[in-house]
Amino acid sequence: MKGTIPRITSLLMAILLGVACAATSLHGTLANQKFSVPETVAITAGPFIAGSDAAEREAAYVLDEAAYGHNRTRKFGWYDRERKRASHDSPAFEITRTPITNSQYAAFVAETGHPAPDVDEATWKGYRLIHPFARTRRHAWRDGAPPDGRAAHPVVMVSHADATAYGAWLSAKTGQT
């Protein structure tokens, strides 16, 4: 499992950035659909700090233990594999003001036939996350639709490939890149 947490962190960032970059400069609603185009905000170019030092990792473990009442993150070494704290430069980009919702993602699934977001139990266990697989089921789509009452909630259980496909669809649908 060496490198799992950095891969998960990278995957989550790729999902957020992949969807956000694909939605660049989009505002309003498409005239021919009941699909709300994600609003974006500009992020200027500049430095950012990624990674952590030993004191920050220890603080994260202490916070987790206080919040969750157990030491699973420490046991699995979640933060131990983080890269050393370093400054990096990022180009300017736009990101969606809010996460992509189940409703927005459902328009993509309905139009393209792309599989609804989900994760199987073996994959979930491989992530070594805090929450048990059974708890994910309340977020799971059924028959290609989001769970009742969660249309405005952020879409979850989306893979990097899913996010990339959504971004490509959104770009093609809106003519924006």
pLDDT in tens, 113-163: 999 999 999 999 998 888 889 999 999 999 889 999 999 999 999 999 999
Q: Which two tokens stand for residue 71?
A: 């030491």
Residue from 36, 160, 166 nearest 112 by CA: 166
Inside any domain, residue 102? yes
| Least confident segment among 10-14, 83-87, 102-106 | 10-14
Which pLDDT value is given to residue 131? 84
Inside any domain, residue 58? no
pTM for the structure as a whole: 0.69
Inside any domain, residue 79? no
Inside any domain, residue 9? yes
> What residues make up the domain containing 124?
4-45+91-172
Q: Using one digit for the tens of pLDDT, what is the confidence trace for 10-41?
A: 444 444 444 444 433 333 333 334 677 888 89
> What's the number of domains the chain is made of?
1
